[in-house]
C-alpha cells in the first residue's frame, strides 16, 4: 500500500486480555492480535480515508511509511483489503458435504468388561459373548467400508482384550488392509506376551485409560488394583516401542491429579495425554461424577500455561492458527465417521452406541446401504452451527464448530435435543481465547503491531 491507498477492514468483535487486543472477524472467520496503536489504525479503515488521512486523524505519532508497512501485513493476514469486505450468506455445512467419505470406523468389539468404572457412558460390563459379531463378521464389515474411503479404525468396547481374536483382527486391519488402527483399553489384561505380539504389528496405537497420578484415586474410579496393572501396561508398551496414548476422563474425583499425571506421562515417554470430558450418560449420569465447569476451565488453562503434552490443546492451537476463511462446522459424527455396536447395530457416534434412539441400521444390510441411505445419518449431516442454540450469534462459532452434539444431547438439559448448547461451551471458549493470546506481548517499540493471527485459505470443515 502507499499513502493514497484507501484500506478497508471488516467489522470486528473486540476482546482484551492484559495488553493484547483480539479483533475477531467472526463471519470469515479470521482474527488478529494487535497492540493499541494497531487497533486504532484498523478502526479508521473504512475505505474512505487514505493511509495519509488515517495517520493524520489517528492522534498517533506514526509515519505514513510505518502505517503502510502495518497495512501491508494486514493485507497478507486477510484482515485488510483494498476493496470492501462482502460476506456471502452461509446456510450451513450441507452444501459443502459433497464427497461423503467414510474415513473413520469405530468398532465396539464387545460389551463385556472386567471393570465397572464409575463414569462409563455405555454402562459396559454386562453383555453376552453370544450376542457379539464374529471375527469373520468384523473383517467383512471393515472390508466393506474400505471402498467408501476408510482410513482408520478404532477398536473399543467394553474391554476389547477380552476377545482372543482381537490380535487377528488387528493384523487384518494393519497388514492386509493397510489402515490406521487405534485400540482403546483399560490396560489391565495386557501381559508381556501380548505386548510382544502388539509390538510386531506395524503402526499400531494403543490408547490406555489412566485416571490419576495415584493408585488410590484411579482405583476409586476404576476398581481396586486396576492402577497397578494399567500403569505397568503403559510402561511396557512404551518400552516395546508401541505407540501409546494415555486417556483420562476428568471427573470431580481426579481433576486435582491431572497435572501431576501429565508430568508423569511426559517423563515416561507416552505419545500423548488425551483428556475426555464426562458424557452425562450411563454410569456417569447415575454417579454424578462430572467436574465443575469452573474447575475444568482452570485445569485446561493451567495445562497450557505449563506447556503440558496434551492433544486437546493441540486441536485448539491448530484451529486458531489455521487458514482464515475456513469454517469449522459440526463434528465428524455421521459425516465421515461411523460406529458399530457389538451386535452389529450402527450409530453416528461412538458416544451414542447402545442408545436405541440413534440406531441408523444394521450391518447385516451392508455398510454402504446404511452409510448412503440412513435417515438418521442424514439428520446429523443436516445439523449446522448456524442452527444450534447459543451458537447462531457467537463470535467463536466457526472456530469451535458448535461443540459435541453427543455432549449437548445428554448434558444440555432435560429436553435431550441435538441442537442444545454443549455443556462445555464456556470451557471451549476460554481455550480458544487462551490459544489465540498465549505468549503474545507488545514489543514496546511505539509502533503499530500485529502480535498474532491465522495463516491463509477458504472453505468448510468438520471439527476433529
238 and 359 within one domain: yes
Identify the CATH number of the domain in which residue 59 sits: 3.90.930.60
Distance, CA of 416 to CA of 191 (rounded, Å): 42
DSSP-derived pairing of the beta strands 104-108 and 13-17: unpaired
| φ/ψ (deg, to 5) at 390 | 80, -5
* Residue 139 and residue 115 share a domain: yes
Q: Indicate the residue among 53, 88, 123 that finishes a domain.
A: 88
Rounded distance between C-alpha atoms, residue 329 and residue 460, angstroms: 7
Domain that holds residue 366: 99-379
Residue 47 sits in the same domain as residue 184: no
Quick one: 105 and 64 in the same domain?
no
The DSSP-derived string for 39-91 is HHHHHT-BSSS-HHHHHHHS-S---HHHHHHHHHHHHHTTS-BSS---PPP--
- Is 460 within a domain? no
Q: Are 394 and 372 within one domain? A: no
Boundary of a domain, candidates 379, 412, 444: 379
Q: Are residues 334 and 185 in the same domain?
A: yes
Taking the C-alpha atoms of residue 355 and residue 372, their distance in angstroms, rounded to an integer, is 21
Cell of 424: 462445555
Domain endpoint, select from 353, 379, 405: 379
Please tell me the distance from the alpha carbon of residue 427 to that of residue 444, in angstroms, as a whole number: 32
pLDDT for 464 equals: 53
Do residues 435 and 313 make contact, with C-beta atoms less than 8 angstroms apart? yes
The answer to whether residues 81 and 459 touch, using CB atoms and an 8 Å cutoff, is no
Looking at the domain assignment, is residue 157 inside a domain? yes
CA gap 44, 448 in Å, rounded: 13
Clarify whether residues 220 and 166 are in a common domain: yes
In order along its 464 residues, the chain shows pLDDT tens digits of: 999 999 999 999 999 999 999 999 999 999 999 999 999 999 999 999 999 999 999 999 999 999 999 999 999 999 999 999 988 888 888 888 777 899 999 999 999 999 999 999 988 887 677 889 999 999 999 999 999 999 999 999 999 999 999 999 999 999 999 999 999 999 999 999 999 999 999 999 999 999 999 999 999 999 999 999 999 999 999 999 999 999 999 999 999 999 999 999 999 988 799 999 999 999 999 999 999 999 999 999 999 999 998 999 999 999 999 999 999 999 999 999 999 999 999 999 999 999 999 999 999 999 999 999 999 999 999 999 998 988 988 999 999 999 999 999 999 877 889 999 999 999 999 999 999 999 999 999 999 999 999 985 444 455 55
Q: pTM for this one?
A: 0.93
List the grid coordinates of 120: 462409563
Contact call for residues 109 and 341 (beta carbons, < 8 A): no
Q: Cα–Cα distances in Å, from 331 out to 170, 257, 379, 383?
A: 26, 29, 13, 9
Angle at alpha carbon of residue 138, lines to 133 and 143, rounded to 5°: 155
- Give the domain CATH number at 353: 3.20.20.70
In terms of domains, do 295 and 323 share one?
A: yes
Same domain? 209 vs 325: yes
Indicate if 310 and 173 belong to the same structural domain: yes
Pick the closest to residue 236 from 259, 208, 262 (CA basis). 208
Q: Which string of b and e fits 90-118 if b means at least 16 CB within 10 Å?
A: bebbeeebeeeebbbbbbbbbbbbebebb
Q: Are residues 107 and 11 in the same domain?
A: no
As a whole number of angstroms, the distance between CA 338 and CA 191 comes to 31
The values of phi and psi at residue 183, to 5°, are -110, 125
Verify that 114 and 83 share a domain, yes or no: no
Give the count of domains, the chain: 3
Amino acid at each position: 500500500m502507499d499513502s493514497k491507498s484507501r484500506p478497508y477492514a471488516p467489522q470486528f468483535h473486540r476482546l482484551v486480555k492484559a495488553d493484547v487486543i483480539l479483533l475477531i472477524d467472526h463471519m470469515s472467520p479470521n482474527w488478529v492480535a494487535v497492540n493499541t496503536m494497531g487497533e486504532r489504525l484498523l478502526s479508521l479503515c473504512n475505505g474512505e480515508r487514505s493511509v495519509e488521512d488515517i495517520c493524520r486523524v489517528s492522534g498517533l505519532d506514526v509515519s505514513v511509511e510505518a502505517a503502510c508497512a502495518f497495512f501491508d501485513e494486514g493485507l497478507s493476514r486477510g484482515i485488510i483489503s483494498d476493496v470492501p469486505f462482502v460476506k456471502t450468506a452461509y446456510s450451513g455445512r450441507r452444501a459443502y458435504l459433497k464427497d461423503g467419505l467414510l474415513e473413520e470406523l469405530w468398532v465396539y468389539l464387545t460389551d463385556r468388561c472386567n471393570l465397572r468404572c464409575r463414569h462409563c457412558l455405555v454402562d459396559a460390563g454386562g453383555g453376552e459373548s453370544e450376542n457379539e459379531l464374529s471375527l469373520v463378521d468384523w473383517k467383512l464389515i471393515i472390508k466393506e467400508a474400505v471402498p467408501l474411503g476408510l482410513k482408520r479404525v478404532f477398536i473399543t468396547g467394553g474391554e476389547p482384550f477380552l476377545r482372543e481374536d482381537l490380535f487377528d483382527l488387528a493384523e487384518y486391519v494393519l497388514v492386509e488392509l493397510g489402515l490406521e488402527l487405534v485400540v482403546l483399553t483399560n490396560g489391565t489384561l495386557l501381559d508381556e506376551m501380548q505386548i510382544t505380539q502388539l509390538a510386531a504389528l506395524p503402526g499400531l496405537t494403543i490408547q490406555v485409560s489412566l485416571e490419576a497420578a495415584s493408585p488410590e484415586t484411579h482405583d476409586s474410579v476404576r476398581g481396586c488394583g486396576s492402577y497397578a496393572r494399567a500403569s505397568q501396561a503403559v510402561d511396557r508398551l512404551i518400552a516395546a516401542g508401541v505407540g501409546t496414548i494415555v486417556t483420562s476422563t476428568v471427573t470431580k474425583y481426579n481433576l486435582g491429579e491431572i497435572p501431576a499425571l501429565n508430568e508423569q506421562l511426559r517423563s515416561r515417554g507416552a505419545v500423548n495425554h488425551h483428556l475426555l470430558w464426562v458424557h452425562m450418560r450411563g454410569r456417569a449420569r447415575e454417579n454424578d461424577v462430572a467436574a465443575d465447569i469452573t474447575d475444568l476451565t482452570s485445569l485446561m488453562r493451567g495445562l497450557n500455561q505449563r506447556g503440558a503434552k496434551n492433544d486437546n490443546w493441540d486441536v485448539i492451537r491448530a484451529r486458531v492458527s489455521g487458514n482464515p476463511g475456513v469454517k469449522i462446522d459440526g463434528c465428524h459424527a455421521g459425516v465421515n465417521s461411523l460406529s458399530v455396536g457389538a451386535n452389529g447395530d450402527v450409530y453416528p457416534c461412538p458416544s451414542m452406541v447402545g442408545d436405541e434412539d440413534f440406531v441408523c441400521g444394521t450391518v447385516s444390510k451392508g455398510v454402504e446401504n446404511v452409510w448412503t441411505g440412513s435417515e438418521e445419518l442424514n439428520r446429523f449431516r443436516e445439523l449446522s452451527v448456524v442452527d444450534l442454540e447459543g451458537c447462531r450469534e457467537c463470535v467463536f462459532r466457526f472456530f469451535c464448530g458448535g461443540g459435541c452434539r453427543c455432549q449437548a444431547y445428554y448434558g444440555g438439559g432435560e429436553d435431550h435435543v441435538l441442537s442444545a448448547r454443549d455443556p462445555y461451551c464456556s470451557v471451549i471458549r476460554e481455550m480458544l481465547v487462551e490459544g489465540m493470546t498465549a505468549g503474545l506481548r507488545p514489543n514496546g517499540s511505539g509502533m503499530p503491531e500485529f502480535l498474532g493471527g491465522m495463516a491463509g485459505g477458504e472453505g468448510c470443515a468438520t471439527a476433529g
